[in-house]
A = this chain, B = another copy of it.
């Protein structure tokens, strides 16, 4: 993935710096839904001199490159995940422990298309977030 990011940066006359590499590597290592702060803390362990700002900036670039997606569950800040991870999917979010489970359901996707068609609406993307209590917390 780093190579794709480098390509994206080059196309824009930007550079793949040591800091950016570190941020991206750390991000990709944790196939999770990390907030900027969580990622910052992880990166900081390896390179304490890194700035908060650089993490934010790198995440923004990744999102622009479409290599990361920003998600907004209901905890007041954005969470990011690698775009390649599992392809498109939706989420089950536990209100007790905060765990996030991913799922895909072709049936739902098809029905969404149908709904959109009926409204003359052209879909670009969507978010289906199901909140509740996970198996472990019940």
Docked complex: A94-118 residues within 8 A CB-CB of B: 94-95, 101, 103, 105, 107-108, 111-112, 114-116
**B132 and A123 contacting across the interface, CB-CB below 8 Å:** yes
**B105 and A120 contacting across the interface, CB-CB below 8 Å:** no
CA distance A112 to B92 in the complex (A): 10
Interface size class of A (residues with CB under 8 A): 20 to 34
CA distance A134 to B114 in the complex (A): 14
**A130 and B103 contacting across the interface, CB-CB below 8 Å:** no
**A121 and B128 contacting across the interface, CB-CB below 8 Å:** no
Residue A119 interfacial (CB < 8 Å): yes
**B130 and A116 contacting across the interface, CB-CB below 8 Å:** yes
CA distance A72 to B133 in the complex (A): 21
Can you name 15 A-B residue pairings with CB atoms under 8 Å?
A: A101-B119, A101-B121, A103-B119, A105-B114, A105-B115, A107-B111, A108-B112, A111-B111, A115-B130, A122-B138, A123-B130, A123-B131, A126-B128, A127-B129, A128-B128
